[in-house]
Structure 1
């Protein structure tokens, strides 16, 4: 049985993909995906933070309205009915707990939809042989703390790719299957993982995305399907998607933006 090469392997590990400078094992295609930039210097791929943006902000608005209605009903109930001291204490505690949970849920759903940037792109600079990662740090259960953008760069030769699949059960007994490709950054000359980030989290684009990136870094853009190389601005979002319109724009640090998009 084939064992993972990296220590530790990614969660849901299925297989190790070819190294960054090894021959390709898959066709270099992107299917539904399209680069936000592709030329002889660098390739930029989008990574949406959520498959669908805009749904949770609507749910947050609904939760907010329900919370307001619940508060109004409780106030009316207290003024219209006569409670004993004990019942009033219990009623008040329950009302505070339910209201607090509703407000927390509203804030969580709102921030999950609006706070992440419009995209989390990856830049692969072929001439510098480096990858530049635009990430985002969040604490989903704490909508009141600071969430912020992160950026980092790594050497191409220190990257390793792993294909993963994770299964999880739903509350109604169903099964959710997620697939993707994780990129690990290893300590030079070892298989010790020091950092990880996602390349793709969609089943439609797993190992083919890594093959596409490897083809570009090894051979340039020649041989890649021209129809997949239609550059577009990562900050261009549909005008009807309120969540994306409110989300922060992708803005690389000036020094990293200049380095990642230029030759040495």
Structure 2
């Protein structure tokens, strides 16, 4: 069932439509040849899908040095001005230079950390036996680019029945115009339409809808309901990376031991 008006009390930014609920029939049939990646893993207990909050990586690591040099250039210009003019620059010029220096420094740090601190994969595990969803999420805070605690990957656990998928399309101020299409997952307060959390699920609405359909089929019917993929799973932690500096510097996926064990097991296996 596709809802024509937002079902949730607070729909996602750029809301386009709601996808079927966790226990409703999928709205689309997954078609492996057009999907970006096959499942990382699938068995009778859990399904793991690859996920990434950033569509493209490798640009920020080159923008960062430019911004760092720019942050040095602003005070250097003020010094040169004072030496050549034999007088101190005006207060307004100092403020402009200070703002430029801080902005460039912030941008350089933000670009660098976004490109190098996001893990190589941000997988999501659907555990059919526990009816739980385990998400390896990269948290970041643009207002705190120098903070260590505000950045990093964390594993979070949600109830399958409390998830809701939304297709979104956000128009951005790009050079030639355009939009960013995504599918996001909202975490609802049990028994309500109140959103308590929300996170990125997939780029491109069609692919996101298919991956959501795969999760539905697995959780409702089991692994036998999933289509066969022509390509083997990708080893994100041990892939050979030659030219993308950002991906080479990116940390590997490392689930906390307790959550890793729980997310891969049934209650009867490990309590």
For normalisation by structure 2, the TM-score amounts to 0.83
Q: Deviations over 1:61-109 (max 9, x none)?
A: 2333444566656655654x24234x47666554444333322222121
Answer yes or no: is 1:169 the counterpart of 2:177: no
> In 2, Cα distance between the equivalents of 1:149 and 1:128?
23
1:212 aligns to 2:214 (yes or no): yes
Residue in structure 1 matching 2:62, options 48, 51, 58 = 58
Q: In structure 2, the residue corresponding to 1:197 is in which secondary structure? A: strand
1:38 Cα deviation from its structure 2 partner: 1.9
2:52 counterpart of 1:48? yes
Is contact 1:187–1:193 with CA below 8 Å preserved after alignment?
yes
Instruction: Name the SS of the counterpart of 2:223 in structure 1.
Output: coil
The farther-off stretch of 153-162 and 232-241 is 232-241
1:225-244 maps to which residues of 2 (within 5 A)?
A: 225-227=227-229, 230-237=232-239, 238-244=241-247
Deviations 1:35-81 (A, max 9, x none): 222222211111113111111101112333444566656655654x2
Question: Counterparts of 1:198 and 1:11 in 2: how far apart (Å)?
Answer: 12
Q: Structure 1 residues 122 and 73 mapped into 2: Cα distance closer, same or farther (>3 Å)? A: same
Paired residue for 2:18? Answer: 16
Distance 1:127 1:208, change over 3 A: same
Deviation string 1:160-215 (CA, Å, 9 cap, x unpaired) is: 22222222333x5x422122222222233332322222221324513112111111
Partner of 1:251: 254
CA distance in 2, matches of 1:103, 1:152: 32
Deviation at 1:246, TM superposition (A): 1.6
> Which structure 1 segments of 5+ residues have no match?
none
Higher relative contact order (CA 8 A, sep 6+): 1
What's 1:182 paired with?
Answer: 184
Q: 1:94 to 1:4 in 2, by over 3 A?
A: closer
Say which is worse superposed, 131-140 or 196-205, in terms of deviation.
196-205
CA RMSD of aligned residues (A): 2.6
SS of 2:224's partner is coil
What is the rounded CA distance, in whole Å, between the counterparts of 2:68 and 2:251 in structure 1? Answer: 23
Normalised TM-score (structure 1)? 0.85
**Cα distance in 2 for residues equivalent to 1:99 and 1:204:** 42
- Given that 2:15 and 2:169 are in contact with CA atoms closer than 8 Å, whether structure 1 keeps it comes out as yes
Distance (whole Å) between structure 2 residues aligned to residue 127 and residue 66 of structure 1: 54
How many residue pairs were aligned?
260
Matched, 1:151 2:155: yes
